[in-house]
Structure 1
Amino acid sequence: MEISSATPTPHFLFVTTPMQGHINPARRLAARVMASMPSARVTFSTAVAAHRLMFPSNTDDQEDAVDDAGVLYVPYSDGFDEGFNPAVHGTGTYKERSRAVGRETLSAVIAGLAARGRPVTRMVYAFLVGWAPAVARAHGIPAALYWIQPAAVFAVYYHYFHGHDAQILASFCENDDDAGPDAGTAALPGLPRLKSSALPSVVSITSPEHPHYLLLDMMRELFLTLDEYKSKVLVNTFDELEPDALRAVAQFELVAVGPVVPDPDEASTAASSTDLFPRDDGKAYMEWLDTKPARSVVYVSFGTIVSMSKRQEEETRRGLEATSRPYLWVARNGADHDGTQGMMVEWCDQVKVLSHPAVGCFVTHCGWNSTLESVTRGVPMVCVPQWTDQPTVAWLLEARMGVGVRARVDGEGVVGRGELQRCVETIMGDGDDAASVIRAQADGWMGRANEAVAGGGASERNLRAFASELCCAVIGDA
């Protein structure tokens, strides 16, 4: 579509919290929006602390940074420019300070862009910046939420904050093993009955003293904001995976635009300049993978937020060794534990690892970004969910997709060595019927996921429609 010189150029502003798991999917969607509409401008704004980590060579926070996709990066301040530390700042200070300072400084970002001849015409915000739509409204800018978790999780949260909290909490009080198929389950509109073990952990919180109560409080604020502003919701999922969940909340239009994952060679382009953690060239572990047979390696990573207990670390190591299979394990202290059977590293390019033909299984915490990366590479998973949306993701993988096996935990919440060995062998067992079924399912879902974002796929069409809708609105208002 050709835009006249008198018409404002479509300009998307992406806003997110300073967390790697939020920055990555938002940045990747920003790049896709730019690719789908080359005439548009795209700016990305996260808090100063993360911006500094992404662009360490910039000596001035106001200095422009542009990635290889052409996305401009301009930070806002959340009041914690050196980074938020709960132990130092206390969780009670974060919400109010980040909202007050964030509103003021994001407003200044938008005003500054307009003064430079780059007026913002649409904001896309990730959750946990529930204050962002108020800033957009003050500047007359339409805003859309980018939901970076499964649509099923969105539906659970919505129903929790709209009259179903007592039912959900009751499911956590019942024993899942009680007689009857409905024991310990919640029946929510538009969703199948979900056991408490398949619900996001945040909806089990009842006390403000709980260490994760801040997250529940911020989610409540987000959904109150959605009720007020009626934002369109872009979801990092695809229609074939969650057709019912995408329509489980009639009050909102949920639009599938995923899976939003990087290309295998992205590490050499935009991603390398916007990662919050130290990176290396990956030569050692990739060469190690090159020496292994196809689908023989167990890849293990539990994300960057939750620390593994010493006992869980030991049980994981013993369980992996018991499989007698080679393993690549990402751990913060990985350099101390290399052995002949396994290799441990502090960081790896996960997409490249999952794309390597030697990898046959992924032992994962079920973070949604990692899960989608594994699904799009056809790698089946051992599910070891920890918190937030991860229990629901594990349910999706095991019960809905058939591409994963959920590991059982003991009374201390630890996956024992024998249980880990059982799960790995269920997926990788040579000649085993169950393993063959899981592998076939993984291959099938890989095809469907990649078709969704390919040219003409459902998610690709949805994203183009979203971008074009704004373009037409800008022309109509000109």
Structure 2
Amino acid sequence: PENHAVSSQKLSSMERSSATPHFLFVTTPMQGHINPARRLAARVMASMPGARVTFSTAVGGHRLMFPSLATPDEETVDDAGVLYAPYSDGFDEGFRPEVHGMATYKERARAVGRETLSAVVAGLAARGRPVTRMVYAFLVGWAPHVARVHGIPAALYWIQPAAVFAVYYHYFHGHEALIASCANDADPDAAIELPGLPPLRSSALPSIVCITSPEHPHYLLLDMMRDLFLVLDEYKPKVLVNTFDALEPSALRAVAQFELVAVGPVVPDEASPSSTDLFRRDDGKGCMEWLDTKPARSVVYVSFGSILSMSKRQEEETRRGLEATGRPYLWVARKGAGVVMEWCDQVKVLSHPAVGCFVTHCGWNSTLESVTSGVPMVAVPQWTDQPTVAWLVEARMGVGVRARADGEGAVDRGELQRCVETVMGDGEAALGIRAQADLWRWRAEQAIVGGGTSESNLRAFASELCS
């Protein structure tokens, strides 16, 4: 019925080539997915001034992005001309595992998402704005089905490192037992060699590959990732990756079955917004004024992202470790004791000359923002791709050190103090790390300036429908 209902909306390749380029970006209502997708959408629009761009996330996220709308699902347009048209994932009040149950999310989000995103696409076509290309982030793996029904080419936007894509690909294509065995090996020197990648220790593997039971609290994420790769095998879309050639030359070519195209680092610039924060509390002006009073490279900036909350013990160890350094620190968190601020514009903070170190959970967005600001890092990875990102920070780029967690997964105060001093002190190690941070900032800048590898890749992608 769905195929029949929208068959009249399908575009032939000839019709697509003559239509105004119209990119539809689709993502889950999560901060770490919305930000890089919005930024890439803005870059596409900047590289093709005549193109249309529509951004679609679930109603639950849309209403947090735009709290002043008359209704939660009302469309709106931003200053750059991007249209925001939400779909529904069946959880318009927001998904809460304790209320809805984890088991219900995947099937309901897929069924309702397919139907309502299809309605968004059909509605745009009916208004004379037919979509000519869909770009989807990785937790809406059902989106290419909608694109196919409407005859629209789709591309996956992979918002994690290319190395993580390669590990997942090999995990779901014959190496599952081998990777899981390494990930669960108690020997810290246990390592695995996968096609196209350097040897990776168990501590450098993304956390979900250690899951061996459906009872695991994060099994849903592994299950959704498995679905994503099944869909990738079926549809074979182009894969845009938020990385750059100089950083991951081998990983970008580690999966011969797919064309991975580096378009990063996708971080805020003049063309793209800093963020549309779902948790914004104030204008962040206070933290910038406070930074203005501090000497160059003197402040430790601390943030562990917007999803996982810290244990009480980890909060206490972090606070004590920071105080033991004797250095001023700016700690941003949404909850918990010892919080300096609930929100700040992270890109502005990292760009401030007073910031000398970033203690980070190694979310990929945060890491790229730190790299492009030339700020050294103390890596405190928690889950998903973060252990692999910490490996890139420490072993690949040399722009920081990784804090070692204890048997309970916490970083104690002494270890945190040691890491901060290693990065911010006057020793040879600190000088080397700062030099590497400057080098990688330059390499990242070169990738996205006019004629750079990532800028050229994105421009080619954006214009290929018009050739």
3-state secondary structure, aligned to 1:299: strand
Q: Counterpart of 1:199?
A: 205
The 5 A counterparts of 1:94-133 are 94-133=105-144
The 5 A counterparts of 1:387-398 are 387-398=383-394
Q: Is the 8 A contact 1:401 1:445 kept in 2?
A: yes
Give the CA deviation at 1:45.
0.3
Q: Counterpart of 1:359?
A: 355
- What amino acid does structure 2 have at the position aligned with 1:384? V
Instruction: State which of 24, 48, 54 in structure 1 corresponds to 2:59.
Output: 48
Instruction: State which of 307, 324, 327 in structure 2 corresponds to 1:325.
Output: 327
- What amino acid does structure 2 have at the position aligned with 1:440? A
Give the CA deviation at 1:25.
0.1
Give the CA deviation at 1:271.
4.7
1:281 aligns with 2:283: yes
Q: Counterpart of 1:435?
A: 430
Q: Is the 8 A contact 2:356 2:375 kept in 1?
A: yes
- What amino acid does structure 2 have at the position aligned with 1:137? R
Q: Is the 8 A contact 2:16 2:132 kept in 1?
A: no
Q: Is the 8 A contact 2:22 2:130 kept in 1?
A: yes
What CA distance in whole angstroms lies between the structure 2 residues aligned with 1:435 and 1:396? 18
Give the CA deviation at 1:451.
1.2
1:113-171 Cα offsets, whole Å, 9 max, x none, are: 00000000100000010000000000000000000000000000000000001110121
- What amino acid does structure 1 have at the position aligned with 2:216? H
1:419 aligns with 2:415: yes
1:76 aligns with 2:82: no
3-state secondary structure, aligned to 1:307: coil
Instruction: State which of 17, 22, 29 in structure 2 corresponds to 1:18.
Output: 29
What CA distance in whole angstroms lies between the structure 1 residues aligned with 2:273 and 2:459? 21
Give the CA deviation at 1:55.
1.0
3-state secondary structure, aligned to 1:328: strand
Sequence identity of aligned pairs in percent?
A: 81
Give the CA deviation at 1:332.
2.1
Q: Is the 8 A contact 2:25 2:136 kept in 1?
A: yes
The 5 A counterparts of 1:305-324 are 305-324=307-326
Q: Counterpart of 1:463?
A: 458
1:13-46 Cα offsets, whole Å, 9 max, x none, are: 0000010100000010000000000111000000
Q: Counterpart of 1:341?
A: none
Q: Is the 8 A contact 1:176 1:195 kept in 2?
A: no
What CA distance in whole angstroms lies between the structure 2 residues aligned with 1:63 and 1:93? 26
3-state secondary structure, aligned to 2:64: helix
Q: Counterpart of 2:302?
A: 300
Q: Counterpart of 1:240?
A: 246
Q: Counterpart of 2:4?
A: none
Give the CA deviation at 1:275.
2.2
What CA distance in whole angstroms lies between the structure 2 residues aligned with 1:353 and 1:78? 34
Q: Is the 8 A contact 2:38 2:273 kept in 1?
A: no
What CA distance in whole angstroms lies between the structure 2 residues aligned with 1:437 and 1:327? 22
Q: Is the 8 A contact 1:69 1:270 kept in 2?
A: no
Give the CA deviation at 1:61.
4.1
Q: Counterpart of 1:159?
A: 170
- What amino acid does structure 2 have at the position aligned with 1:170? S
Give the CA deviation at 1:283.
2.0
- What amino acid does structure 2 have at the position aligned with 1:240? A
Q: Is the 8 A contact 1:130 1:221 kept in 2?
A: yes
Instruction: State which of 57, 63, 75 in structure 1 corresponds to 2:68.
Output: 57
3-state secondary structure, aligned to 1:321: helix
What CA distance in whole angstroms lies between the structure 1 residues aligned with 2:274 and 2:380? 27
The CA RMSD over aligned residues, in Å, is: 1.7
Q: Is the 8 A contact 2:24 2:53 kept in 1?
A: yes
Q: Is the 8 A contact 1:173 1:184 kept in 2?
A: no
Q: Is the 8 A contact 2:183 2:205 kept in 1?
A: no
- What amino acid does structure 2 have at the position aligned with 1:262? P
1:254 aligns with 2:260: yes
Q: Counterpart of 1:28?
A: 39
1:191-227 Cα offsets, whole Å, 9 max, x none, are: 0111111000011101001000000000000000000
Q: Counterpart of 1:171?
A: 182
- What amino acid does structure 1 have at the position aligned with 2:395? A
- For structure 2, the 5+ residue unaligned runs are 1-13
3-state secondary structure, aligned to 1:345: coil
3-state secondary structure, aligned to 1:176: coil
What CA distance in whole angstroms lies between the structure 1 residues aligned with 2:241 and 2:16? 33
- What amino acid does structure 2 have at the position aligned with 1:242? E
Give the CA deviation at 1:368.
0.2
3-state secondary structure, aligned to 1:259: coil
Q: Counterpart of 1:222?
A: 228
What CA distance in whole angstroms lies between the structure 2 residues aligned with 1:151 and 1:136? 24
Q: Counterpart of 1:347?
A: 343
Q: Is the 8 A contact 1:68 1:270 kept in 2?
A: no
1:187 aligns with 2:190: no
- Report the count of equivalent residues: 454
Q: Counterpart of 2:5?
A: none
3-state secondary structure, aligned to 1:376: helix
1:230-266 Cα offsets, whole Å, 9 max, x none, are: 0000000000000000000000000000000013x78
What CA distance in whole angstroms lies between the structure 2 residues aligned with 1:174 and 1:278? 40
Give the CA deviation at 1:4.
12
1:331-359 Cα offsets, whole Å, 9 max, x none, are: 2246x647xxxxx1011100000000000
Instruction: State which of 439, 442, 455 in structure 2 corresponds to 1:444.
Output: 439
Alpha-carbon distance change, 61 to 118 in structure 1, aligned in 2, over 3 angstroms: farther
- For structure 1, the 5+ residue unaligned runs are 178-182, 339-343, 473-478
Give the CA deviation at 1:69.
1.6
Q: Is the 8 A contact 2:319 2:338 kept in 1?
A: no
Alpha-carbon distance change, 349 to 11 in structure 1, aligned in 2, over 3 angstroms: same
